[in-house]
Amino acid sequence: MPDSPSRPRAPGTVLPDAVQVAVVGAGPVGLQLAGELALRGIDCAVLEREPRIAQATRALVLHARTLEYFDMRGIAEPFVAAGHRYLHYPLGTARAEASFTTLDSSFAYALALPQHRTEALLQAYARGKGALLVRGAEVTGLLQEADGVVLTVRHAGQVRRIRAAYVAGCDGARGPVRRLAGIPASRSVYPYDVTSIDARLDLDSQQPWSRCARDGMALLLPFGDGRWRIILYDYRPRGTGGAPTGGLDQAETLLRRVSGRDLCLRDVQWISRYRCERVQAGPYRRHRVVLAGDAAHVHPPTGGQGLNTGIADAMSLGWRLASAAADPRHDGLLDAYAKERRQAAERVLRLTGALLHLNAAPSLWACAVRAVGLRTARLPLVRQRLAVALAGLPHVTRADNRLRSGQRVPDLLLRAAPGQGAPGRLFEALRSGHHVHLTPACGTPDPRAADLAHPLLTARSEACRRACVVRPDGHTL
């Protein structure tokens, strides 16, 4: 693939006639993917319908694995500096909390950061690497041909056509790419009414908090500046105060009943009532169109998994799509992406669905199950496993050196290989966007390294027991 240095690019106001990759959607997933492509010298354009970054908070939490991905590109520091650290995830009682402080990661916490700030930082990263971002560009048509894709785009009062070797649909659950590409998706709606409010609360603690009671459940997530996101699940039957059409006063009453505190919502910035969806695209790829983020999968917001799963999609797709765009012989890598990330999305769907049922189901049977679940969640092993799952980390630590294909590799300390300097940490070595041949201090190399058709760095680590090739997204080849 091209190994040219990335170059900053001015904000785009003119649509190009052709690019190697067109990324549709300038949310966090599309911007991260554009940065990955531009890092490898791929000519890409991000097409976004909205004229500017929306200031609504939307997604709030960045988990440890996402911060590791950012560290692999040297951009984690501004996110950490701007965010507010969560040390645990609450499960409904004071003794049932999944602690992040014991995670096997340099980022042993979750980070509260409003989505518009995440997007602003990723936008700067993508543009700095040379990606073109065109706002006010609405995709209205998509035609796949043998050697590329033709997009019809409405921009600045004109209709233009753009040709791309590949198109990445990062345009969300209701974006046009999946529909225009004819990719089917299964969809179901959970039967629970959820109320979400962003407001100020007078609370001393600035850590997540939740309580379950007879009338419902309340989950409180702090922004770190006095604002909170309040998520309410109402167990009361409709007509007894539990109707989803109730107003702010009703939500405040429920919050007080569940929390047992005289809490007052002030400076309400946002209130939303909704039912959660479960959406899974059939294939994540159709010919020269690939999907990532909410365009591929939608799940309940419980556990703050949505944005984080999408960033993982972008990291897994980025190096593969760049390889395919640079050399058609690597086109099969996109099938591997579709299989790998669909399996990952299924795991997230199971996790978030289980958490939603635990939080929201109002029946007497569900209340009994919830009581048993909360008691079980007090067990240290259960709390640890849940924290690891929420953080996006596998059940593998530095003590487990069986690095299987697709396995996360922790941020190991490195030492210089003979005749070649190396950065001090694995994640620093990955900032080049290349594969890394990781070898033990004494041992044989990975035989696959000699035949790898991608740029490759070599590094040694005392903590590595068996040689392996680490992909640019921090997973074993």
Supply the DSSP string of 5-73, one letter for each residue: PP---PPB-S--SEEEEEEE--SHHHHHHHHHHHHTT--EEEEESSSS--------EE-HHHHHHHHHT
For residue 385, what are its two tokens?
């496993």
Amino acid at 291: L
Does the domain spanning 194-274 belong to CATH 3.40.190.10? no
Higher pLDDT, 236 or 184: 184
What is the pairing mode between strands 289-291 and 158-169?
parallel
Give pLDDT tens digits for 378-413.
899 999 999 999 999 975 544 445 557 789 999 999
Under CATH, what is the fold of the domain 18-56+115-188+278-360? FAD/NAD(P)-binding domain (3.50.50)
Q: What is the mean pLDDT of the chain?
A: 91
Helices of type H across 150-292? 176-180, 248-259
Res 187: pLDDT: 95
Asked if 127 and 37 count as a contact pair (C-beta separation under 8 A), the reply is no
CA distance 171 to 22: 12
Q: Against a cut of 0.75, is the pTM above it?
A: yes
Rg (CA), the chain: 23
Question: Which residue would you say has higher pLDDT here, 423 or 442?
Answer: 442
Express each pLDDT in 5-56 by its tens digit: 455 555 556 899 999 999 999 999 999 999 999 999 999 999 999 999 988 7
DSSP string for 384-409: HHHHHHHHT--S--TT-----TT-B-
Q: What CA dihedral angle connects 263, 265, 267 and 269, to 10 degrees?
A: 140
Locate the DSSP E strands across 275-353.
Answer: 277-281, 285-286, 289-291, 297-298
227-278, pLDDT tens digit by residue?
Answer: 999 999 999 876 554 444 458 999 999 999 999 999 999 999 989 999 999 9
* 469 dihedral zone (left: phi>0; alpha: psi -120 to 50; beta): beta
Residue 118: what are its φ and ψ, rounded to 5°? -60, -45
**Amino acid 155: pLDDT:** 95
CATH architecture of 400-477: 3-Layer(aba) Sandwich (3.40)
Residue type, 59: A
C-alpha distances out from residue 338 to 167, 286, 332, 342, 440, Å: 14, 10, 10, 6, 32
Q: What are phi and psi of 46, to 5 degrees?
A: -100, 120
Q: What is the pLDDT of residues 348-363, one digit of tens each?
A: 999 999 999 999 998 8
The domain segmentation of the chain, as residue ranges, is: 18-56+115-188+278-360, 194-274, 400-477
